């Protein structure tokens, strides 16, 4: 027996939570769904098909001042992340992969301060994200979130996964479910063969496919910016003559021409086909050998927002079939 929250109570429920913590949620305005801070009267869209920006920006801001210094005194940014965010389960899976990436050899404290002080609520529904192929990947079972909301038609079945999630089970809004319902049968789909994809990618960037893609791609980097898992950043120090300054990090993309540029005029990946190959290779080979799974949940954003209409899904199927 679980707890249920009627969908009609959702606005009041979020309003109640927002009295103690800021609440971020997918909100629709003029036909566009975005993650934003919830205010009473906002049109919630928990069944979103996509958002241009995934919720990663809440944990890894587009631009962030990491520290400031003056003389021999240094002050680090607080990286405060006390908030609640509601997102669909595919975006929550992506966030779990981001956790693994930032927990690596050098733990990223700025990211984890926000992650550990925030509360993530994942929405499980039957909405298929635009251009998604998530059911062809196996990214379940390693998700890390605090509360699960399972769509049951006119209500959500709530399951707290952590103590932080249990704190969101507000009495007055939730009630006991009448009976345990069986989950609906899952869609069947042909899973991607990650091992085959990875073996082809390991052959390097000189395969014809990467040169052909380079002729189509604008090298704009949008695929990386909209991806809920891509996390490349650039760190910039600004120093004044008065011995003070700051260190900032800003989103970057390995698809951009100067991403691998170094002092002295060198560039490790100056050619477009090398950068495209690197993006795919990182996601479907390097991430798999480092963390045991691809850096992709199949959310489809990189397909939906690519101005050259390049479809990552078709390309990785090509890698799978290549000899």
Residue 220 in the binding site for ligand SF4 (CB under 6 A): yes
Name the minimum Å distance from CB 7 to ligand SF4: 27
Residues 91-110 that bind ligand SF4 (CB under 6 A): 94
Residues 260-299 that bind ligand SF4 (CB under 6 A): 283, 296-299
Binding-site member from 306, 316, 319, 320 for ligand SF4 (CB under 6 A) = 306
Name the minimum Å distance from CB 279 to ligand SF4: 8
Nearer residue to ligand SF4 within complex by CB, 149 or 296: 296
Q: Chain centroid to CA 305: how far?
A: 15
Binding-site member from 222, 232, 254, 261 for ligand SF4 (CB under 6 A) = 222
Residue 89 in the binding site for ligand SF4 (CB under 6 A): no
How many residues make contact with ligand SF4 (CB under 6 A)? Answer: 26
Binding-site member from 255, 287, 288, 316 for ligand SF4 (CB under 6 A) = 255
Nearer residue to ligand SF4 within complex by CB, 167 or 310: 310
CB under 6 A: which stretch of 111-119, 178-186, 226-234, 284-292 binds ligand SF4? 226-234
Binding-site member from 308, 311, 317, 318 for ligand SF4 (CB under 6 A) = 308
Nearer residue to ligand SF4 within complex by CB, 130 or 196: 130
Binding-site member from 101, 219, 260, 261 for ligand SF4 (CB under 6 A) = 219
Name the minimum Å distance from CB 93 to ligand SF4: 9
**What angle separates helix 89-102 from helix 109-117, to the nearest 10 degrees?**
140
Nearer residue to ligand SF4 within complex by CB, 219 or 261: 219
Residue 314 in the binding site for ligand SF4 (CB under 6 A): no
Q: How far apart are CA 323 and CA 320, in angstroms?
A: 8
CB under 6 A: which stretch of 1-9, 15-23, 224-232, 240-248 binds ligand SF4? 224-232
Nearer residue to ligand SF4 within complex by CB, 65 or 313: 313
Three-state SS sequence of the chain: CCEEEEHHHHHHHHHHHHCCCCEEEEEEECCEEEEEECCCCCEECCCCCCCCCCHHHHCCCCEEEEEEEECCEEEECCCCCCCEEEEEHHHHHHHHHHHHHHCCCCCCHHHHHHHHHCEEEEEECCCCCCCCCHHHCCCCCCCCCCEEEEECCCEEEEEECCHHHHCCCCECCEEECCCCCCCCCCCCCCCCCHHHHHHHHCCCCCCHHHHHHHHHCCCCCHHHHHCCCCCCEEEEEEECCCCEEEEEEEECCCCCCCCCECCCCCECCCCHHHHHHHHHHHHHHHHHHHHCCCCCCCCCHHHHCCCCCCCHHHHHHHHHHCC
Binding-site member from 98, 302, 316, 319 for ligand SF4 (CB under 6 A) = 302
Binding-site member from 12, 116, 218, 258 for ligand SF4 (CB under 6 A) = 218
Order of all β-strands in the sheet with 233-239: 73-76, 63-70, 244-251, 233-239
Q: Which residue has the tokens 């007055």?
A: 172
How would you label 308-320 residue by residue, b for 16+ Cβ within 10 Å and e otherwise? eebbbbebbbebb
Nearer residue to ligand SF4 within complex by CB, 9 or 93: 93
Sites of contact with ligand SF4 (CB under 6 A):
94, 217-223, 226-229, 255, 283, 296-302, 306-308, 310, 312
């Amino acid at each position: 027996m679980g707890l249920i929250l009627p969908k009609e109570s959702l606005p009041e429920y979020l309003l109640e939570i927002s009295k103690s913590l800021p609440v971020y949620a997918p909100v629709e305005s003029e036909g566009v769904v975005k993650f934003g801070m919830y205010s009473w009267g906002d049109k919630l869209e928990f069944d979103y098909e996509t958002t241009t920006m995934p919720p990663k920006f809440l944990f890894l801001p587009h631009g962030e001042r990491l520290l400031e210094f003056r003389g021999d005194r240094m002050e680090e940014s607080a990286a405060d992340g006390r908030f609640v965010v509601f997102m669909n389960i595919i975006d929550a899976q992506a966030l779990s992969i981001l956790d693994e990436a930032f927990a690596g050899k050098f733990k990223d404290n700025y990211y984890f301060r926000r992650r550990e002080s925030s509360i993530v609520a994942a929405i499980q529904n039957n909405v298929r994200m635009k251009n998604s192929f998530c059911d062809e990947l196996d990214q379940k079972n390693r998700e890390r979130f605090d509360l699960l909301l399972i769509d049951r038609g006119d209500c959500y079945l709530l399951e707290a996964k952590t103590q932080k999630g249990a704190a969101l089970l507000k009495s007055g809004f939730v009630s006991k479910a009448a009976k345990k319902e069986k989950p609906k049968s899952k869609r069947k789909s042909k899973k991607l063969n990650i091992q085959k994809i990875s073996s082809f990618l390991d052959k390097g960037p000189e395969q014809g496919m990467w040169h052909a893609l380079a002729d189509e791609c604008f090298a704009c980097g949008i695929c990386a910016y909209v991806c809920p898992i891509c996390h490349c950043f650039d760190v910039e120090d600004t120093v004044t003559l008065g011995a003070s300054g700051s260190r900032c990090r800003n989103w970057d993309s390995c698809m951009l021409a100067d991403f691998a540029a170094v002092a002295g005029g060198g560039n490790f990946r100056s050619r477009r086909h090398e950068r495209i190959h690197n993006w795919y290779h990182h996601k479907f080979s390097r991430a798999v050998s480092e963390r045991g799974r691809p850096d992709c949940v199949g959310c489809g954003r990189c397909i939906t927002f690519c101005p050259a209409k390049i479809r990552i899904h078709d390309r990785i199927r090509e890698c799978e079939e290549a000899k």
